[in-house]
Amino acid sequence: MDTTAFPACEIARLPEQVLSAVISLTAPRDACRAAVVSPAFRAAADSDAVWACFLPRDLPPLADGELDPAPPSKKALFMRLSASPVLLADSLTVQCGSTWLDRKTGAKCYMMSARALHISWGETPMYWRWIPLAKSDSRCKEAVMLRNVCWLEIRGKMHSKMLSKNSGYAAYMVFKIDGDSFGLDMDYPAQEASVSIGERKSRRPVCVEGCRRRSRIRDGRVRLPVDVQLPQERSDGWTELEMGEFYNEEGEDGEVSISLMEIEEGHWERGLIVQGIEIRPKKESNAEEV
């Protein structure tokens, strides 16, 4: 519809600086919607003054060349950072491999690469094997494949100051299951995932290979314990498992700790391929994209 055919609404007659100040108090998705209201709103909603408010002031250092060529505007920079992950500078890869912005809220998101995780026996080739990944296939340079262990323990941690304040987050393990896997499905005891920040901690039973075994649940051949979290397939060919949720409050000062462990010892597992753990806002099932 051609909005220029209608008289400008009264609010559109306000100076662009005023409109920009009002729009900057909303969220990125609202600014994109405001841009289609009228030419006056578009000029204000696309301005650097608005999008500078949506970009984190404490964005972590990025690896060289990740933003080449440089985005021409603050909005273009936000869209680039929210479109796909960018690698962090080498000094930060001890904790995380890549970062991006949540397009709806502007919250900082991270992928804790497999190298940044503590994996029991992870450096022992008899038990785990490191494999390179193509850049087009993942957000990390490599993954680690479980060859054979009888004690599964994966832990990750990062400082809460790296996250956006007053924001709700969820932690997701990103992985694949090899065709020759064993000991990870619903014929064996569920694993346990936990997420903590400060003194607050949550635990939940999970099944990492549940995604491939859903037909066995539907036809009654397998009965899961109550509230076992199952993984979900992703459009990028990987699978993700929600490990827990937490809220990063204003002034929060401490570590976010995430873990996946066996509930019962004594059986062997193989075939788990771990890319890393994502920390990002939980996406609502009916959420709209910008």
Residue 156 belongs to domain with CATH number: 2.60.120.260
Query: Among 156, 252, 276, 153, which Cα is nearest to 200's?
Result: 252
**Tens of pLDDT along 160-195?**
999 999 999 999 999 999 988 888 887 777 899 999
For residue 192, the one-letter residue type is E
Would you say 92 and 270 are in contact if contact means Cβ atoms under 8 Å apart?
Answer: no
The C-alpha atoms of residue 123 and residue 131 are separated, in whole angstroms, by 12
Q: Is residue 64 in a domain?
A: yes
Q: Is residue 272 in a domain?
A: yes
β-strand 255-262 against 153-159: which pairing, if any? antiparallel
The C-alpha atoms of residue 200 and residue 140 are separated, in whole angstroms, by 29
Instruction: Indicate the number of domains in the chain.
Output: 2
Per-residue tokens: 121? 């026996």
Per-residue tokens: 180? 């020759």
Same domain for 271 and 173: yes
Q: Is residue 165 in a domain?
A: yes
Would you say 37 and 19 are in contact if contact means Cβ atoms under 8 Å apart?
Answer: no
Residue that finishes a domain, picked among 38, 61, 86: 86
Instruction: Supply the pLDDT for residue 195.
Output: 97
Q: Is residue 143 in a domain?
A: yes
Specify the residue for token string 């209201």. 37
User: φ, ψ for residue 251 (rounded to 5)?
Assistant: 80, 5
Q: Which helix (H) or strand (E) holds 18?
A: helix 16-23
Per-residue tokens: 2? 């051609």
Range of 267's domain?
90-280
Instruction: Supply the pLDDT for residue 89.
Output: 85
Compute the Cα dihedral for 184, 127, 97, 141 and give only its sign. negative
Same domain for 117 and 28: no
Residues of the chain with pLDDT under 50: 1, 3, 5-6, 215, 217-218, 286-290
The C-alpha atoms of residue 237 and residue 221 are separated, in whole angstroms, by 27
Per-residue tokens: 270? 């193989």
Per-residue tokens: 183? 């000991």
Residue that finishes a domain, picked among 54, 86, 118: 86
The C-alpha atoms of residue 280 and residue 273 are separated, in whole angstroms, by 21
Would you say 53 and 75 are in contact if contact means Cβ atoms under 8 Å apart?
Answer: no
Would you say 43 and 16 are in contact if contact means Cβ atoms under 8 Å apart?
Answer: yes
Where does 48-163 show beta strands of DSSP type E?
86-87, 98-101, 108-113, 118-119, 128-132, 142-146, 153-159
Instruction: Supply the pLDDT for residue 122.
Output: 92
CATH code of 23's domain: 1.20.1280
Return the bridge partners of 248, or none: 167
